[in-house]
Amino acid sequence: MRRTTTRNIALLAAAAAVVSIGAAAPPADPPVRHPGSPGGPPVKTPVAAGYGGAVASVDADASAAGIEILRRGGNAVDAAVATAAALGVTEPYSAGIGGGGYLVYYDAGTRTVHTIDGRETAPRSADASLFLENGRPIPFDQGQTSGLGVGTPGTPATWETALRAWGSRPLARLLKPAEKLARDGFTVDATFRAQTEANQARFADFPATAELFLPGGKLPVVGTTFKNPDLARTYRELADDGVRALYRGDIAEDIVDTVRKPPVAPGATRIVRPGDLTLRDLRSYETIRRAPTKVGYRGLGVYGMAPSSSGGTSVGQALNMLERTDLGRVSPAGYLHRFIEASRIAFADRGRWVGDPAFEDVPVKGLLSQRFADSRSCLIKDDAVLTSPLAPGDPRNPVPCGTTGEAAPTMRDVESTTHLTTADRWGNVVAYTLTIEATGGSGITVPGRGFLLNNELTDFNFAPANPAVHDPNLPGPAKRPRSSMSPTIVLDDDRRPVLALGSPGGATIITTVLQTLTSRLDRGLPLVEAIAAPRASQRNQTTTELEPGLWNSPLRAELERIGHGFRLNPEIGAATAIERLPDGRWLAAAEKTRRGGGSAMVVRPSDGRP
């Protein structure tokens, strides 16, 4: 096996010739300046290198909020909370205090990785029939836009847990940039307008949502200023009273009232089902400090999020399967073929084995073992394609090239969420993925509070994916739905950070993180190009999704000749990442064009690029 070190990665970044996967990455957009900031508008650019710490997110105002905290002496956790709070303002359809997420933290002092499971939970009254009516699953849209799909939010509790363990600044101080942004407003861009337009019909059915996001019944205009004074006041209440206000105080009561009696506009014909969330559910919510997943890859340690997320186990298993192949030497088509097949197998095993470990016996150690990976990777042939849905293997008793039981197809995906990555002057790093599930969440805004409620419980399977197979992802009381969020941190053999990354995108998060990692570590693409490269996503389905850059590439025909089938997806994921350079600088990177491009910033920019 080939050994990769931090020095090797730096050499790869400096290489003049880059081996691509066959399609040119789109050129970087010019920096975009956002008006309205008294101290000078933040600049939106997809890559930055320098000293003192770094932040990468999808939004310039949010990244600037994190950078402000770093400049004032805060650490990576402080910056992550400030950035996340700002994303609740500027990315309200993807994240906010009405949702949840997963945070992975590298502690430079102890050179250890820690994680927080801040996933939403089902009401204590929930059982496997939560989304059934007369024994049959209700229509998905009736679960999605309802109180029934709302889980207890985990995001504020995640902030509190992280700050108590590793933060250096009080929450009140970290919320100030976001509170100001909500009060004074941010500039509407094309992505925000498009996401509002996609939700216009259901937003119009909820008066508080329509008043906030469709003022006067009209879509927001690109270039205008969007303000959210209700959210500013809510942040001020959290700053004054702490996050307990959301779990025990007036905000908690407002959330419960909204879930149990969704405020629907008079005359609306939409079926909006009530949920059964209670004040007890909010009072009893707790985050969980879990041990991270870990696999060795090319001499590096890859750390991720353990179940209830399937991100760490799926990315880790796929890397274990791919490590036996020198991906840097195979052809672009050979690389994509191996990547697609490893993803297919990992998703087959994810569907059978991964759920909330408080309810399911999840064989994490077995899923991440090299023995199991070898027993599954022998299914991959250079001149043939596996059939989906593929039956799972048994990590408790691996049989070479064997499967067990019946196949269960991957259920529907919802491609929303957001990811941020931070680092500080001391070397601490955070990879944090947070969400309210679908773009626009449940569509229900808590009246007077300025934030949307999640519809995270729709990540449960409404009914077994295959009635003949045990399904670990059915609803249950206080159960966490299985997630695909994959915040990931990579360390070298001295347990120092190499890079950290993550992405939104539903179940495509796993394949986006896997492809970005292998593009950077194996194929030699500079980090920003590894993020920008056109993506493929196979999730144990009959066809593999391709972005246009691969769909229109000769590679598609080359792969189709050995049996691959494809379908077009205009956009997969929206990753952000940070890399530690050998000279002590941080390199922050984000999307060039997806979601309108991301925002990478450093505290003290340096001249030149790595």
Q: Enumerate the active-site residues.
A: 417
- C-alpha triplet 43, 46, 51: angle, nearest 5°: 75
Taking CA atoms, 390 is separated from 159, 254, 376, 377, in Å, by 39, 45, 11, 13
CA distance 372 to 365: 10
Q: In which element (H, E) is residue 55 found?
A: strand 47-57
Q: How many CB atoms lie within 10 A of CB 545?
A: 21
Sheet architecture: strand order including 566-568: 536-537, 544-546, 566-568
Q: In which element (H, E) is residue 377 found?
A: helix 370-377
DSSP conformational letter for 215: G
Cβ contact 151:120 at 8 Å? yes
DSSP conformational letter for 114: E
Pinpoint the alpha helices (H) of 167-305.
171-184, 190-198, 200-203, 207-213, 229-241, 244-247, 250-260, 279-283
CA distance 573 to 431: 16
Q: Which two tokens stand for residue 277?
A: 């969330």
Q: Which two tokens stand for residue 306?
A: 């353990």
Q: Which two tokens stand for residue 428?
A: 């601490």
CA distance 429 to 450: 30
DSSP conformational letter for 133: E
CA distance 67 to 274: 41
Q: Which two tokens stand for residue 99?
A: 């949702």
What is the chain's percent helix, strand, coil content, to nearest 5?
35, 15, 50
| Sign of torsion over alpha carbons 9, 13, 15, 20 | positive
Q: Which two tokens stand for residue 275?
A: 């949920």
Buried b (16+ CB within 10 A) or exposed e, 173-187: ebbbbbbbbbbebbb
Q: Which two tokens stand for residue 93?
A: 């359809």
Q: Using alpha carbons, select from 503, 506, 295 the residue that is nearest to residue 515.
A: 503
Q: In which element (H, E) is residue 296 found?
A: strand 293-297
